[in-house]
DNA sequence: ATATCGATTATCT
DNA sequence: GATAATCGATATG
């Protein structure tokens, strides 16, 4: 019988600024298996990163940074390891980590997490009632808009936070977990530069988005 | 299981 | 005025 190792938030160690000061493709791949931790009031939430996308600089037409620096995207041009939160489709927020040294734009979009802690709070934030089944757990943090809603991440509150610091309330750390197998695909939901293989997922993980996420 | 579509607003042209 | 790094509902096979 399989014994699932209990997730222990106390064993999660924040990633360094240097971790993010690299090419977004490198950062994206290495973020798989790491843990996003959310402290909000008394709520403690955490999820393992199972799906991310890399967004590059001026040469990447799909990246918000492609058009140059604007008030909205300035975090992408700033220091590495900061949260870039943007509002999309009139309804949702999406969370990114800024990459590359200060002055050079790049980022990684968080597309899906495997919920580890604070599942009840996340269900409440998502407006899900009743018992959490294996099926409905997927609705908590699978999808970039969903994971932000589950963790109450908004631009007003959470943009430009230093995600190497637990006191930021939103931070990323490692607990020793290593993905067995990583798959790379094209990015989701974009029209420009859609052909590049810049989406990274933990192969076979149940919390990867999309119908094929479950069979990869 | 896959396809299509409407909601809703910040941002940029 | 158009578009968007999305989601949930609905329709159809």
| Measured distance CA(A161)–CA(A64) in Å, rounded | 18
How does pLDDT run across A10-27, given as a tens digit for each residue? Answer: 999 999 999 999 999 999
How far, in Å, is the CA of A18 from the C1' of nucleotide B6? 43
Rg (chain A; Cα; Å): 16
Kindly state the tokens that stand for A84.
């870039």
* Residue–nucleotide distance: A89 CA to C7 C1' (Å): 9
Using an 8 Å Cβ cutoff, are A34 and A48 in contact? yes
Distance of CA A40 to the CA centre of its chain: 17
Interatomic CA–C1' length for residue A210 and nucleotide B1, angstroms: 12
**Which nucleotide does the CA of A107 lie closest to, via C1'?**
C5
CATH fold of A9-215? 3-methyladenine DNA Glycosylase; Chain A (3.10.300)
A87 sits within 7 Å of strand C by its CB: no
pLDDT of residue A6: 83
- Mean pLDDT over A172-201 rounds to 96
Predicted model pTM: 0.95
**A50 Cβ partners below 8 Å, 6+ apart?**
A32, A112, A113, A114, A201, A202, A205, A207, A208
Q: Are A170 and A38 in contact (CB under 8 A)?
A: yes
Asked whether the predicted pLDDT for residue A159 surpasses 50, the reply is yes
Q: Where are the domains of chain A?
A: 9-215
Residues A38-55 have pLDDT tens digits of 999 999 999 999 999 999
- Strand nucleotide closest to residue A72 (CA to C1'): B11
Q: What percent of chain A has pLDDT over 90?
A: 91
Percentage of chain A modeled with pLDDT above 70: 95
Two tokens, residue A54: 């890399």
Average pLDDT over residues A61-72: 95
Write down the mean pLDDT value for chain A: 94
Is a pLDDT exceeding 80 seen at residue A67?
A: yes
């Amino acid at each position: 019988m399989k014994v699932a190792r209990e997730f222990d938030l106390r064993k999660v160690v924040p990633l360094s600024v240097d971790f993010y000061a690299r090419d977004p493709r490198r950062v994206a791949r290495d973020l798989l298996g790491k843990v996003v931790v959310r402290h909000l009031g008394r709520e403690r939430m955490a999820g393992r990163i199972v799906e991310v996308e890399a967004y590059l600089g001026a040469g990447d037409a799909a990246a918000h940074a492609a058009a140059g620096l604007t008030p909205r995207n300035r975090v992408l041009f700033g220091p590495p390891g900061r949260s870039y939160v943007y509002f999309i489709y009139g309804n949702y927020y999406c969370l990114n980590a800024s990459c590359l040294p200060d002055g050079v734009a790049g980022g990684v979009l968080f597309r899906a997490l495997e919920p580890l802690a604070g599942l009840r709070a996340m269900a409440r934030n998502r407006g899900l009632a009743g018992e959490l089944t294996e099926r409905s757990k997927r609705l908590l943090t699978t999808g970039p808009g969903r994971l932000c809603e589950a963790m109450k991440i908004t631009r007003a509150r959470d943009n430009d936070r230093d995600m190497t610091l637990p006191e930021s309330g939103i931070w990323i750390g490692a607990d020793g977990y290593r993905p067995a197998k990583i798959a790379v695909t094209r990015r989701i939901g974009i029209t420009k530069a859609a052909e590049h293989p810049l989406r990274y997922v933990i192969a076979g993980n149940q919390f990867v988005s999309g119908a094929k996420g479950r069979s990869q």
